[in-house]
Amino acid sequence: MSHAQAPKGALAKLLIGASLAFVALFLVLPLALVFVSAFAEGAGAYFEALADEETWSAVKLTLLTAAISVPLNVVFGVCAAWLLSKYDFWGKSALLTVIDLPFSVSPVIAGLVFVLLFGSGGWFYSALSAADVKIIFAVPGVIIATTFVTFPMVAREVLGVMEAQGSDEEEAALTLGASGWQLFTRVTLPKIRWGVAYGVILSNARAMGEFGAVSVVSGHIRGETNTMPLHIEILYGEYNFVGAFAVASLLTLLAVVTLVLKQWVEWRTARAARGFEGAPAEDSLEGQRALLGGAP
């Protein structure tokens, strides 16, 4: 096993100093200025801005959107990863490309696509109007757009874990008579749980910070369809800098919490991977038999 060595020489120290200066100037300083600007008029003005009814409406919509889009991404992401890692079929490459589509398409374009589908004069507008269902310039549109742009996060993370670990344990469980549900809950899910957790963290961070696609489909209706990023834009455009930076500080705190969780999950994933690599191959059948409750 290789071990990291302490930097030696003037060039190494210069590179480290330049890297730290870059991080401080372009990452740490802007984040610090968010909080400085938020408290520029005192703590009273800060908490007054956060207590605003429209601010809380934006916070609640942001949390609601994440609470709906992330579980949807988990379900469809795990299903897609299972399909792509366990089976070979015609169109597999095309499906992989479709999953990566939100990475390559601008969120603004994604929002415009949903307007063309569900907006006035769109393909499904007549049917939706007859059913008295409104998607564009309403909460459902915000949720749909957010789900689209965050979809690859879980699928890609879980797919990488499944491909790296192979299917030997699943095959062993099948030979012991495991049902499909037992196979997933007792064999597959424990192996991919940290990949799922990592994907959930990334998906949640993107969902709460998404601007482009949501901006197109929301209509910027204050108190109804504005998420936190949209509300920040409106407040800043109205020269309400304390209010804008107060809401921005909430997003910054959420980002810091997300970063801490991300680092913790990465540590647990690396630890689980080391344990998986060090497990003796001859223990596989006995381990699966125990997991399946002594299935014959």
Q: Given a cut of 90, is residue 280 above it in pLDDT?
A: no
* pLDDT digits 0-9 by tens, 118-171: 988 888 888 888 888 899 999 999 999 999 999 999 998 898 888 887 777 777
**pTM of the predicted model as reported, rounded to 2 decimal places:** 0.81
Walk me through the domains of the chain, giving residue ranges and CATH numbers: 43-273 (1.10.3720.10)
Q: What is the mean pLDDT of residues 106-119?
A: 92
* pLDDT digits 0-9 by tens, 254-275: 888 888 888 887 787 777 666 6
Query: What is the distance between the alpha carbons of residues 109 and 115, in angstroms, rounded to a whole number?
Result: 10
Q: What is the average pLDDT score of the chain?
A: 84
Q: Given a cut of 60, is residue 237 above it in pLDDT?
A: yes
Q: Given a cut of 50, is residue 204 above it in pLDDT?
A: yes
* pLDDT digits 0-9 by tens, 72-91: 999 999 999 988 888 888 88
* pLDDT digits 0-9 by tens, 131-145: 888 999 999 999 999
